[in-house]
Amino acid sequence: MKVTEHIAQAKSPLFSIELLPPLKGQNISSIFETMDLLMEYSPAFVDVTYHREEYVYREVSGGLLEKRTVRKRPGTVGICAALKHRYSIDPVPHIICGGFNREETENALIDLNFLGIDNVLLLRGDAIKSEGTFKPEPGGHAYAVDLLKQVVQMNDGVYLDPDLKNAKNTDFCIGVAGYPEKHFEAPNMKSDLRYLKQKVDAGASYIVTQMFYDNAAFFSFRERCISEGITVPIIPGIKPLANRAQLNSIPKHFYVNMPEELVDLAERCKTDAEIQELGIEWCIKQCKELIEGGVPVLHFYTMGKAISTSRIAKAVF
């Protein structure tokens, strides 16, 4: 079922989660453990992230360095298929522009369609870690909106090969990313919202936001979206603070602000266990206020920390 259908049928706000594929060399059991813990709260859908290739350097004889390309967390499509089969749940694979040309994108979408997957979250992806700026693959897409247009074309039965006869259309429900504190590359919020609207006008049916810790940022973003004419559901992304290191790593990696009150409280904590407790309490407060504010879904970035999500879900749903 499509994410938008889940939202349309819901009588109260829905619970959904995002999972990361395990590191290469691990098996799928960590995913199943997370799911087994969180199924109690009946997630409406489960996002599975996509992780592009990275360059690693290995010292070889004579002090030379060998450059290798590795994907540390493969398995997005396989995990989606496994979740659908094992839990009868709707998986939402993330599809990115980075590392894919149009043909590879089309083939990935055909796999998802054959697996009976109804939803995709379409993203540009970030630059390869050792490169400063995002570079599209030759023959690939530079922005999420361009990838989105390819999926919309497939939904209309138009594939890359113009000679295909009687091609069957796909019917993906398309989600895209939004940033309550703006995307880090955007010169300002106005510009970022203009491009967000472009994605919605091109066929996105819903928006999932980057994590945030101050609900005021979400509510003001939602207001501005509405005033720009963006009327699709906007789903807030929630990530509970889990340890002291995240006070710096979350702003560094996700370009989000930590409210003064949260940081003051965290600095008074003596252990990571206390910080995790604070993170749970903070998110429970955030979630209750977001529900009062009329959000359709609360979407949790679990990142291997299912316990916090489960405690919050227990208090909120």
From 54-62, 184-192, 263-271, 286-294, span contacting ligand FAD (CB under 6 A): 184-192
Shortest gap between Cβ of 272 and ligand FAD (angstroms)?
25
Does 137 bind ligand FAD (CB under 6 A)? Our answer is: no
Token pair for 56? 């690693």
Task: Provide the total of helices (H) and of strands (E) in the chain, helices listed first.
Answer: 11, 10
Q: What single-letter DSSP state applies at residue 47?
A: E
Shortest gap between Cβ of 31 and ligand FAD (angstroms)?
15
Strand partners, 69: 55
Does 94 bind ligand FAD (CB under 6 A)? Our answer is: yes
Strand partners, 18: 47, 301
* One of 44, 89, 112, 145 touching ligand FAD (CB under 6 A): 145
Does 180 bind ligand FAD (CB under 6 A)? Our answer is: no
- Indicate the residue among 143 and 317 with the shorter CB distance to ligand FAD: 143
* One of 13, 192, 225, 266 touching ligand FAD (CB under 6 A): 192
Q: Which 246-305 positions form the footprint of ligand FAD (CB under 6 A)?
A: none
Tokens 């090969």 sit at which residue?
161
Shortest gap between Cβ of 148 and ligand FAD (angstroms)?
9
* One of 15, 41, 45, 50 touching ligand FAD (CB under 6 A): 50
Tokens 């993170």 sit at which residue?
279
Does 185 bind ligand FAD (CB under 6 A)? Our answer is: yes
- Indicate the residue among 186 and 263 with the shorter CB distance to ligand FAD: 186
Q: Please check whether residue 196 is in contact with residue 25, taking contact to mean a CB–CB distance below 8 angstroms.
A: no
Q: Which 194-213 positions form the footprint of ligand FAD (CB under 6 A)?
A: 195, 208, 210
Shortest gap between Cβ of 163 and ligand FAD (angstroms)?
30
- Indicate the residue among 210 and 302 with the shorter CB distance to ligand FAD: 210
Does 125 bind ligand FAD (CB under 6 A)? Our answer is: yes
Binding map of ligand FAD across residues 105-124, x = CB under 6 A, - = no contact: ------------------xx
Does 308 bind ligand FAD (CB under 6 A)? Our answer is: no
Phi, psi of 227 (to 5 degrees): -70, -20
Q: Which residues bind ligand FAD (CB under 6 A)?
A: 49-50, 52, 94, 96, 123-126, 143-145, 177, 183, 185-186, 191-192, 195, 208, 210, 237
